[in-house]
Structure 1
């Protein structure tokens, strides 16, 4: 999965008439929002399970054991196999919230500033929704991932590798099939790590221009390094994206709403004849869910 900043801006110009047609077409609006927000939700990147919250909520199990309470037995020819009852995890529930925002685009702005102003309005709505949903998701992850690992200060790429291998070994010993391979950092921490990797010549050749092209995440030392300004935790996180959890989205439907996929921002363009303009609306109805708290660990003592 790609997760790239910055998202490329569109090229080409549209006439005033074409922009009015564009704002009247819900499918085109949805596709434009999807292009702008593509892979920008850190929430969707870290919580990769796509969960259905039809009805406004979801029940799920956390900490479900991967072993049965009984050991297997030697079976004689035509013998019966022992039957064991598998233990369940802890049942939890989560309720979706609807996060949304409107902005107005006047006929005057369309005529005078064209597509630039329309895109700026869409971008403002989309960015705000992304920021808020990501902030909520990161807060949930941080509150659920409570286990910690104290490492020596990361004065070199080797020190970082030693810490990661130690954590991965501890999780492997639990026999849960976890593969913690993604590090999540605040932007300032990420900058320090990139400097370590560059100074120690630990970046793979194809990632050598990371510092100037802004591509995220970076793959180095057998790990994926990602950052987001919406993560405010003091300690970097090491997670297994496949098992950590998911985003539970609810599709409310409603006249005029459209989205470019099954999940993500839903959009609606509402023509206001009295004001002579368009109300651009975006919303996402979702809740972040951590299914396996042990699929992540907080890294303390790094000195980042």
Structure 2
């Protein structure tokens, strides 16, 4: 999944008659949601597993071992393979929430301003839901990833930062957990400082760094992915394995008229209100963030960046 900022500005002109037809067409709304909603969920980017929460919730295993309890054996010709019983993780459950928002677009606004209020309605409703779900997901990650690592010294240079990260990566490798901690998530101010260090140490081309700071793009440098989101409020940077940390459990509750940009994400619906002579634009997402492997992440202490 891409993680792209900033939101692109829509282009093109439609007559008011075409806009009324557009607002009644589910397929066109779905395409417009895909075009407009460029700010993706960081929740989906960090929690890459996809779970089906049909029925309003899921049961899942957490802390499941990544290796079998016994080693493989040498097998001779026509020999019998040893049977190993795999240990299970701890069973946990999660319940979905339906997060939604409405806004009204009057016929007068469509007649006077064209597509602008329509795009603005889709954009603001969608991005507000994205922001809310991302905040919840980041809070869940921060609460579940409780293991910590204290840096030997403050991150006064990119070299100091990478040395600390390589140390915790080596420690986790020795534990044999099978996780690859390769994504660093920071608050925007922390991210800006790190990007500046990477540029100063010539670990990142200056033009790439400027783009990263302006657009909040993830940056790949020194074998790590550096990312930020305003929805992360923790004081300590997080080092994560995005492939194993967890996932988003979405419930597809259906209902006529809803359109979305993909299998996961905000669903948008246009509802005609003839009494008020306008359209109600509704957005929703029915989901819950799930951290299945708390040890697939670690809080980095003592970095000295704020």
Aligned to 1:18: 18
Q: Is the 8 A contact 2:192 2:213 kept in 1?
A: no
Counting matched residue pairs gives 304
Secondary structure, counterpart of 2:203 in structure 1: coil
Q: Distance in 2 between matches of 1:74 and 1:181?
A: 34
Deviations 1:60-98 (A, max 9, x none): 111111233334445555443332211100111111110
Taking structure 1 as reference, are residues 89 and 20 closer, same or farther at Cα in structure 2, changes over 3 Å only?
same
**Aligned residue in 1 for 2:245:** 244
Q: TM-score, normalised by structure 1?
A: 0.95
Q: How far apart, CA to CA, are the structure 2 residues paired with 1:77 and 1:114? A: 76
1:80 corresponding residue in structure 2 = 80
* C-alpha contact (below 8 Å) 1:265/1:284 kept by paired residues: yes
Q: Where does structure 1 lack aligned partners over 5 or more consecutive residues?
A: none
CA distance in 1, matches of 2:9, 2:28: 16
- Deviations along 1:177-199, one digit per CA (max 9) or x if unpaired, are 21111111111111111121122
Are 1:156 and 2:154 counterparts?
no
Alignment of 1:122-161 (within 5 A): 122-151=122-151, 152-161=153-162
Q: Deviation at 1:51?
A: 1.1
Alpha-carbon distance, 1:209 to partner: 3.5
Q: Could you tell which deviates more after superposition, 70-79 or 214-223?
A: 70-79
Contact in 2 for aligned 1:129/1:283 (Cα 8 Å):
yes
Contact 2:53 2:249 in 1 (8 A): yes
Tell me the equivalent position of 1:193.
194
Q: Distance in 2 between matches of 1:235 and 1:301?
A: 8
Offset, 1:113? 1.3
Unaligned ranges ≥5, structure 2: none
Which residue number in structure 2 is paired with residue 257 of structure 1?
Answer: 258
- Residue by residue over 1:147-170, the C-alpha shift from the partner in whole angstroms, topping out at 9 and shown as x without a partner, is 101112100010011011111111
DSSP 3-state at the match of 2:61: strand
* Conserved 8 A contact 1:145-1:297: yes
Give the Å deviation of 1:28: 1.5
Whole-angstrom CA distance in 2 between matches of 1:298 and 1:255: 44
RMSD (CA atoms):
1.7
- For normalisation by structure 2, the TM-score amounts to 0.94
Match of 1:112 in 2: 112
Distance in 2 between residues matched to 1:215 and 1:99, nearest whole Å: 25
Per mean C-alpha deviation after superposition, the further-off stretch among 233-242 and 65-74 is: 65-74
Question: 1:190·1:227 contact (CA, 8 Å) conserved in 2?
Answer: yes
Mean Cα displacement is larger for which, 189-198 or 235-244? Answer: 189-198
Where does 1:1-304 land on structure 2 (aligned, <5 Å)? 1-38=1-38, 40-75=40-75, 78-151=78-151, 152-204=153-205, 207-211=208-212, 213-214=214-215, 216-304=217-305
1:208, distance to aligned residue in structure 2 (A): 4.3
